[in-house]
């Protein structure tokens, strides 16, 4: 049986592997990032529904899932993962600092959404939700093939 401690140790190993260029990745990075982006898409749809039904406080945990994924994005594009079943453009590796900055902008916007939701202010939360969407788009325009 896996204990919490074992799981935490495994997560640490996974992150350490990703940090040295993905050679020791526990999972295929292309699959891992696609899964993460699919979760982003679901999270955005969930938040739209929550805002539509005035459940502002419930937006926070969903936004938190997105910001946690945002922090991982740069580790999910190790060198060489431009090959395979992927829409990642080669520019990601050519302009890596800019790509990382766009990932960080997304993470920061998702954190901002958590904070806005915690304030209970629906208008501010809706505004920040739109800002998060803008950071998805900004990255896709440069770095995702159609
Ligand atoms: C820092 C860049 C970046 C940000 C920010 C970003 N994406 Fe992406 N996204 C990508 C790239 C690159 C791919 C292509 C991944 C691949 O095919 O390997 C992608 C792929 C996707 C996919 C397709 C996944 C699949 O199954 O092939 C969806 C859906 C998606 N993104 C949604 C989102 C949403 C929604 C957001 C914001 C909430 C977002 N993304 C934020 C770069 C980004």
pLDDT in tens, 79-127: 999 999 999 999 999 999 999 999 999 999 999 999 999 999 999 999 9
CB-based contact 125:117 (threshold 8 Å): yes
**Distances in Å between the alpha carbon of 142 and those of 76, 101, 136?**
17, 12, 10
**Distances in Å between the alpha carbon of 71 and those of 5, 76, 84, 90?**
22, 10, 23, 21
CB-based contact 79:93 (threshold 8 Å): yes
Of 138, 145, 21, whose CA–CA distance to 89 is shortest?
A: 145
Pocket test of ligand 1: the residue of 81, 144, 146 to mutate, having most ligand atoms within 8 Å of its CB, is 144
The whole-number pLDDT of residue 27 equals 77
Residues with beta carbon inside 6 Å of ligand 1?
30, 33-34, 37-38, 40-41, 44, 66, 73, 86-88, 99, 102-103, 106, 132, 135-136, 139-140, 143-144
């Amino acid at each position: 049986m896996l204990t919490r401690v074992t799981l935490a140790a495994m997560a640490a190993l996974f992150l350490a592997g990703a940090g040295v260029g993905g050679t020791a990745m526990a999972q295929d990075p292309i699959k891992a990032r696609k899964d993460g982006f699919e979760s982003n898409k679901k999270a955005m749809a969930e938040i739209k529904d929550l805002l539509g039904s005035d459940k502002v406080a419930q937006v926070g945990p969903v936004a938190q899932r997105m910001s946690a994924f945002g922090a991982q994005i740069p580790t999910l594009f190790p060198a060489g993962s431009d090959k395979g079943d992927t829409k990642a453009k080669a520019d990601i590796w050519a302009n890596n600092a800019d790509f990382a900055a766009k990932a960080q902008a997304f993470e920061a916007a998702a954190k901002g959404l958590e904070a806005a939701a915690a304030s209970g202010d629906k208008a501010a939360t809706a505004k920040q939700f739109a800002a998060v969407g803008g950071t998805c788009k900004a990255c896709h325009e440069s770095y995702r093939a159609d």
